[in-house]
Structure 1
Amino acid sequence: MNYAILRTAKLKTMGNIGGSLAHNYRTIETPNADPNLTPKNHHTVTSPEVVKQAIKDRLPEKRRSDAVLCIEYLITASPEWEGWGKSQETDFFKRASLWLIGKHGAENIAGMSIHRDVSTPHLVAYVVPIDQKGKLNCKDFLGGRVKLNQMQTDFANTVADLGLTRGKEGSKAKHTSIKEYYHDINHARDFTIKAVAPKPEMFESKARYGEKVTAAVIEQVEPTVKAANSILADYEKARMDKSVAEGSYDTLKKRVEPYLVATDGLNQEEIVRINEAMQLESRKIAVERDKTEKAIKA
């Protein structure tokens, strides 16, 4: 089954908007994007500065301090969809653009981009949520499960004849944000960490069993974290080293794809935090392993 995918993010500050635009226009390093394909990306607006100014121009002077200034839309389809790279892809993005214009009005769309330098092409749009009364009102568009479900249905119906469908209607699964969407993809792939605790032995003390469980969990988790860090390091080296054989680079890229997909849509600061968290977990595992080994020997 091939799905029409629509996700949203609420941007509440100009800093949030600037960070998203920097990623969108590739003005910061974007590990998940292929720089050789970046020229194939398409932007309706020439630069992130122009998009930001367009957003500012549409914002009313009087608004709540915590108001959502901009809705970031991400629209794509299942990676397996046969329309990618064909005329259906052009039709899909054209319909997505017209759907957004019909929903928000062309005057409230500050900019749209199509990314083709990532594993699955997608459209990103920056929309100022102005309601029919001329007020800044994100809730009118994204407020509540009913509105979100209807939005998903409306868009899916727009592209249904292209061989795409929406997710199961009425599902208890909550609507996911752009960040959650990539996070879910990542954790459904190769880097998911699982650990199985050993069974306690007869007359084994709680302290001894606790040490054994800790050692077992560390032993199972540590290789995955180390492998993830190692693959990422090798990928970065290969990406920067033009002498690396193309086949080797492609192999590394495929292995690290869950990470690349998971970080697509995040700004550089958020990507740095993810990398630091991985390194921290790796260090914690090493420390805990040493403690456990010492406790067992004692």
Structure 2
Amino acid sequence: MNYAILRTAKLKTMGNIGGSLAHNYRTIETPNTDPNLTPKNDHSVATPEAVKQAIKDQLPEKRRSDAVLCIEYLITASPEWEGWGTSKEDEFFERASLWLSDKHGAENIAGVSIHRDISTPHLVAYVVPIDQKGKLNCKDFLGGRVKLNQMQTNFANTVADLGLTRGKEGSKAKHTNIKEYYHDINHARDFNIKTVSPKPEMFESKTRYGEKVTAAVIEQIEPTVKAANSILMDYEKARVDRSVAEASYNTLKKRVEPYLVAIEGLNPEEITRVNDTMQLESRKIAVERVKDKKAMEVSKYSQIDFKSNSVDK
């Protein structure tokens, strides 16, 4: 079963926001990303500084000192979802963006990014939590388990026809926040999978309990699966890089081999003489090329003039 995944983080200071943006825009070292794919990441706002300024512009002057200034959303789907790399992927991220706009108002979304340089693509959004009264009010959106459950269900329904569902509602499995999500990806290298099954409720049918256990186990092993996918991607990249390096080495070896043969057994002074001779010959060849090019141009123009005169006659 493939799941729609929605995580949130509360950013209370500009320092928190700046750190998150540095990770988001890859201005700091980011584990488990492929630098060759980073240019394929999409950002609705060009720079992290511009996102930070957009957040500041939306913040009311009067607010509590401990208020949440920004909600960071991370939206993705199960790594096994067949929609990755197809038109469904674009549709998924487009719907996620529209869902955020409907929930918070487009004016309160400071920036949206889509990362494709990691094993499973995901969307990151920075939202200033302004409520309907115009107040900075994160609690209105993320306050309490009921609202969080409703949010998960609402988003899952938005992308259900793309072949995605939400995690088991009412599951006792702990939901990870964004920080834990990235930590799990970066540190689940030993693949020591441990799961905790939920306890059966009184009079609960075997079928329902089985579904609950399945959902709980999937949610608990998801970070390890992501880490495994990331390692496979890293391995494949290393294999390709090695192949390219070997090809470059072989090409370079063929080019310098005649020179190495020529200086074999010579002392430093003799090698210097060989180098000087090579440079002199190189300059001669360059001069000859220029002369040949000019001669070809003169010949070309002469032929054009000859044809022109022939036509006139």
TM-score by length of 1: 0.64
Partner residue, 1:169? 169
Q: Determine if contact 2:114/2:123 at 8 Å carries over to the other structure.
A: yes
Tell me how far 1:188 sits from its aligned partner: 6.3
The amino acid across from 2:26 in the alignment is R
What code does the residue aligned with 1:18 have?
A: G
Gap change, CA 1:125 and 1:56, over 3 Å in 2: same
Q: What is the DSSP-based 3-state SS (H/G/I as helix, E as strand, rest coil) of the residue aligned with 1:168?
A: coil
Alignment deviations for residues 157-197 of structure 1 (CA, whole Å, 9 cap, x no partner): 00000000000001123432112234455676634399xxx
Distance in structure 2 (CA, Å) of the matches to 1:191 and 1:247: 31
The code of the aligned residue for 1:106 comes to: A
Letter in 1 for 2:128: V
Tell me the residue number matched to 2:110.
110
| 1:78 equivalent in structure 2 | 78
After superposition, what is the alpha-carbon deviation per residue over 1:34-64, rounded to whole angstroms, capped at 9, x for unaligned?
1110111000001000000000000111111
Residues 199-254 of structure 1: per-residue CA shift (max 9 Å, x gap): xxxxxxxxxxxxxxxxxxxxxxxxxxxxxxxxx9xx89x97x99634799xxxxxx
Greater helix percent: which structure? 2
Gap regions ≥5 residues in structure 1: 195-231, 249-298
Distance 1:98 1:18 in 2: 25
Q: Given the superposition, is the C-alpha separation of residues 243 and 87 from structure 1 closer, same or farther in structure 2, using an over 3 Å criterion?
A: closer
Residue of structure 1 in register with 2:208 after alignment: none
> C-alpha separation between the residues in 2 aligned to 1:78 and 1:133?
36
SS at match of 1:72: strand
Amino acid at match of 1:151: M
Identify if the C-alpha distance between structure 1 residues 193 and 75 changes in structure 2 by more than 3 Å, giving closer, same or farther: closer
Deviation by residue 1:270-294 (Cα, 9 ceiling, x = unmatched): xxxxxxxxxxxxxxxxxxxxxxxxx
Provide the residue aligned with 1:190 in structure 2: 190
Classify the secondary structure of the residue corresponding to 2:8: strand
Q: What residue is the counterpart of 2:30 in the other structure?
A: 30
Q: 1:34 to 1:60 in 2, by over 3 A?
A: same
The residue number in structure 2 matching 1:204 is none
| Distance in 2 of aligned mates of 1:18 and 1:45 | 15
Equivalences for residues 42-61 of structure 1 within 5 A:
42-61=42-61
Residues 124-183 of structure 1 deviation map (CA, whole Å, 9 limit, x = unaligned): 000000000100000000010000000000000000000000000011234321122344
- For the 8 Å contact 2:34–2:117, the answer to whether it is kept is yes
Does the CA contact (< 8 Å) of 2:32 and 2:186 recur in 1?
no
Contact 1:148–1:175 (CA under 8 A) maintained in structure 2: no
Distance 1:32 1:187, change over 3 A: closer
| Paired residue total | 207
Distance 2:167 2:240 in 1: 42
* Separation (CA, whole Å) in 1 of partners of 2:149 and 2:11: 21
Give the residue type in structure 2 aligned to 1:45.
V
- When residues 29 and 185 of structure 1 are mapped into structure 2, their CA distance, relative to the original with a 3 A threshold, is closer
CA contact 1:113–1:125 (8 Å) conserved in 2: yes
Distance 2:48 2:160 in 1: 32
Query: Which residue identity does 1:13 align to in structure 2?
Result: T
Structure 1 stretch 143-152 or stretch 180-189: which is displaced more?
A: 180-189
Counterpart-to-counterpart distance in 1, 2:89 and 2:57 = 32
Aligned equivalents of 1:14, 1:129: Cα separation in 2: 15
Separation in 2 of the partners of 1:242 and 1:188? 24
Instruction: Note if contact 2:55-2:110 (Cα within 8 Å) is conserved in structure 1.
Output: yes
CA RMSD of aligned residues (A): 2.7
User: What amino acid is the match of 2:37?
Assistant: L
Partners of 1:152 and 1:84 lie apart in 2 by: 21
Query: 1:56-97 CA deviation, whole Å, 9 max, x = no partner?
Result: 000111111111100000000000000000000000000000
SS in 2 for 1:244: helix
Q: Map of 1:207-226 to 2, 5 A cutoff?
A: none
User: Structure 1 vs Structure 2: percent identity of aligned residues?
Assistant: 85
User: 1 or 2 for the larger relative contact order (CA 8 Å, sep ≥6)?
Assistant: 1
Q: How does 1:242-253 map to 2 (within 5 A)?
A: 244-245=242-243
Letter in 2 for 1:172: K
- The one-letter amino acid paired with 1:127 is V
For residue 244 of structure 1, what is the amino acid of its counterpart? R
